[in-house]
């Protein structure tokens, strides 16, 4: 067993140095400050008590430091996964109940096990099913749903709906019940956080602050909003005036939890856990790769699966929720100078201290502030520009993106992603079911052959050369049959057909059947089939099949060799009938 590959900590820890330590520690402080409000907020988004968000930012970070292959990825609760968690658990239990928390623990464990198994089985390629337009459309739609779902907290009203439209309509119906103090706190936080994101850093730089300090203050904006609104609520007893607050939350170490092993529950959560795993992995791995590339480092996608799997299993046993590598926190970690996963472990210590000592202070934290934090975070996920670019680049990619967005908004997250994946697969199959191919003729006086429709080339009425520009497999095998038989039907004097195979890297069993069928049908129609320029590995596999022995024609080393042999043939036997009798043939070259 290759320990260093499966336990990346063995690669970096032995070489750890004092200078790296200070960089990692500073990064951890910045990420901790950013992560506290985010963890509370995403737990709320997932329908869980706020402390669950903190718990999910402790054990998983330690485990990722041991098993993860990215040096700078920061794991924890993220917006889209929290939404998917809320939807999946909400189907089976009531938000806020202890059953609900139990369902989330099972979901977390299942997702952890799936990720780990996929990593061990090296199934990272499964993430390729999610095309970029589908994942980007899905994240945009999720961002819109999340933002809309938080509006009620900002306004201090109750509203519910199964999709975006219902949600907005139900909000509209209770607009007269808006709680003014909540709105002031919520809107105030929103404007402050948004302004901080857009313009705080340049403004601080202008005021003469150092770049690092300006950066730190900008990152601290959310915790500042939390502190100020909590203090205001406490000082003015706004909770008595209808401002919803987080309330008393237990302080202490993360609890040890044992997820239920009830088989029925596992079956019901299977699809949700799989989608959460794959979406989380895709998000995480693309962040990890982007950051690694900046320092010419590499991450191993299959080891990432194991790292994320271990993190989620850890979360499931310590009162957490599904986690993955988050975009913004990882970028902050990277920018703040983190050099090894030890920065993540230090962050975990920071969050642990918060869970132990800070929780009494946030009893008066207004929920509206957390909602504002979420809205500002997720609106950066909404990317209409990507929709526009996709529209201009490719109508079929746009169609799967739009379907993903609409179905996610109307039917929900799981349906959205499944429809998107199915559509993009269908369109891929449709596209490859008609492989590029061209009937080619000889460029006069040369050994080159070109498409007869685009170039002035020599052709023969008794000979056709068909060049196929793609590998042959089940989705395009039938098209090839059609293409060949159309050619035969159109060219009544045809006696020899050459398939030029220089672009074929692979022939699967379906395509082999099709070639045998084509050979048999051509024989019936009195046409001899030849092959040309078959690649070595393809030829090796064809050796042991029935295609070559049953081939009436031969396998030529090049298209030109085929042309020379069959061209001469017709010159020698101009009056041969089309009855399908076999002409004298030169020895096959294979």
- Chain residues binding a second copy by CB under 8 A are 125, 127-133, 289-290, 292-294, 296-298, 301, 389-390, 392-394, 396-398, 401, 424-425, 428-431, 433-434, 436, 469-471, 473-479, 481-482, 485-486, 488-489, 492, 503, 505-506, 508-510, 512-514, 517, 521, 524-525, 541, 544-546
Q: How far is the CB of 164 from a second copy (least distance, A)?
A: 25
Nearest residue to 179 (alpha-carbon basis) of 187, 169, 167: 187
The span from the CA of 331 to the CA of 389, in Å, is 25
Token pair, residue 259, equals 């997820």
How crowded is residue 180: how many other Cβ atoms within 10 Å of its Cβ? 12
Contact in structure between 473 and 508 (CB atoms under 8 Å): yes
State which residue, 212 or 298, has the beta carbon closest to a second copy: 298
The residue among 220 and 425 lying less far from a second copy, judged by its C-beta, is 425
What are the phi and psi torsion angles at 337 (to 5°)?
100, 15
For a second copy, the closer CB: 32 or 476? 476
Taking the least distance from each CB to a second copy, the nearer of 269 and 472 is 472
Minimum CB distance to a second copy smaller for 4 or for 206: 4
3-state secondary structure of 448: coil
Minimum Å gap between C-beta 491 and a second copy is: 10
Q: Which is nearer to a second copy, 12 or 234 (CB)?
A: 12
Question: Could you tell me the smallest distance in angstroms from the CB atom of residue 374 to a second copy?
Answer: 27
Minimum Å distance from CB 430 to a second copy? 6
**Torsion sign (Cα): 104, 105, 111, 114:** negative
CA distance 313 to 112: 5
Question: Under 8 Å CB-to-CB from 430, ≥6 apart: which residues?
Answer: none
Q: Is residue 515 within 8 Å of residue 481, measured between CB atoms?
A: no
- Angle 434-438-444 from CA coordinates, rounded to 5°: 175
For residue 512, the minimal CB distance to a second copy (Å) is: 6
Between 18 and 454, CB nearer to a second copy = 454
CA distances for 366 relative to 95, 183, 227, 328, 355, angstroms: 19, 11, 10, 23, 18
Q: Which is nearer to a second copy, 180 or 557 (CB)?
A: 557
Report the nearest approach of a second copy to the CB of residue 478 (Å): 6
Task: Outline where DSSP puts E strands in 146-216.
Answer: none
Q: Minimal CA–CA distance to 154: which of 50, 87, 76, 244?
A: 244
Residue 169: which residues within 8 A CB-CB, separation 6 or more?
161
What is the rounded CA–CA span in Å between residue 522 and residue 525?
5
257 vs 394, beta carbon nearer a second copy: 394
- Shortest approach of a second copy to residue 295 CB, angstroms? 8
Nearer to a second copy, 456 or 524 (CB): 524
DSSP 3-state assignment of 449? Answer: strand
Q: Which helix (H) or strand (E) holds 367?
A: helix 367-379
């Amino acid at each position: 067993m290759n320990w260093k590959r499966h336990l990346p900590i063995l690669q970096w820890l032995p070489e750890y140095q004092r200078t790296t330590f200070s960089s990692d520690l500073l990064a951890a402080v910045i990420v901790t400050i950013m992560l506290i409000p985010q963890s509370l907020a995403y737990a709320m988004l997932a329908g869980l008590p706020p402390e669950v968000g903190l718990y999910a930012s402790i054990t998983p970070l330690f485990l990722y430091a041991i098993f993860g292959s990215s040096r700078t990825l920061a794991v924890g609760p993220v917006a889209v996964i929290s939404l998917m968690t809320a939807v999946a658990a909400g189907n089976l239990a009531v938000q806020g109940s202890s059953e609900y928390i139990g369902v989330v623990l099972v979901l977390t464990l299942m997702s952890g096990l799936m990720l780990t198994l996929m990593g061990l089985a090296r199934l990272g390629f499964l993430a390729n099913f999610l095309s970029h337009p589908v994942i980007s459309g899905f994240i945009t739609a999720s961002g819109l749903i999340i933002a809309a779902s938080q509006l009620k907290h900002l306004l201090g009203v109750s509203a519910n709906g199964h999709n975006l439209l219902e949600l907005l309509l139900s909000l509209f119906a209770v607009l007269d019940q808006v709680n003014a103090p909540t709105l002031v706190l919520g809107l105030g936080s929103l404007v402050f956080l948004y302004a901080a994101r857009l313009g705080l850093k340049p403004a601080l730089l202008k005021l003469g602050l150092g770049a690092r300090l300006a950066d730190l203050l900008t990152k601290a904006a959310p915790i500042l909003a939390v502190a100020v609104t909590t203090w205001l609520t406490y000082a003015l007893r706004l909770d008595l005036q209808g401002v919803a607050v987080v309330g008393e939350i237990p302080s202490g170490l993360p609890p040890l939890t044992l997820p239920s092993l009830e088989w029925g529950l596992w079956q019901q959560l299977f699809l949700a856990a799989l989608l959460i795993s794959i979406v989380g992995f895709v998000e995480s791995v693309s962040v990890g790769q982007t950051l690694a590339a900046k320092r010419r480092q590499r991450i191993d996608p299959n080891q990432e699966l194991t790292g994320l799997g271990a993190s989620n299993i850890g979360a499931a046993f310590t009162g957490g929720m599904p986690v993955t590598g988050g975009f913004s926190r990882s970028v902050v970690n990277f920018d703040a100078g983190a050099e090894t996963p030890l920065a993540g472990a230090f962050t975990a210590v920071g969050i642990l201290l918060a869970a132990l000592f800070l929780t009494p202070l946030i009893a008066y934290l207004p929920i509206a502030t957390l909602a504002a934090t979420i809205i500002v975070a997720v609106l950066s996920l909404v990317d209409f520009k990507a929709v526009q670019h996709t529209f201009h680049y490719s109508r079929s990619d746009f169609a799967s993106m739009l379907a993903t967005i609409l179905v996610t908004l109307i039917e929900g997250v799981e349906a959205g992603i499944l429809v998107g994946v199915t559509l993009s697969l269908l369109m891929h199959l449709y596209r490859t079911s008609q492989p590029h191919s061209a009937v080619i003729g000889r460029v006069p006086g040369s050994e080159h052959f070109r498409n007869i429709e685009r170039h002035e080339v020599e052709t023969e009425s008794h000979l056709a050369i068909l060049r196929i520009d793609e590998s042959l497999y089940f989705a395009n095998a039938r098209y090839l049959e059609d293409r060949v038989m159309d050619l035969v039907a159109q060219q009544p004097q045809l006696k020899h057909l050459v398939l030029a195979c220089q672009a074929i890297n692979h022939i699967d069993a379906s395509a082999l059947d099709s070639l045998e069928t084509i050979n048999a049908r051509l024989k019936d129609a009195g046409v001899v089939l030849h092959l040309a320029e078959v690649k070595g590995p393809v030829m090796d596999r064809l050796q042991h099949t029935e295609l070559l022995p049953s081939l009436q024609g031969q396998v030529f080393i090049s298209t030109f060799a085929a042309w020379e042999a069959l061209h001469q043939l017709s010159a020698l036997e101009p009056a041969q009938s089309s009855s399908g009798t076999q002409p004298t043939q030169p020895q096959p070259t294979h």
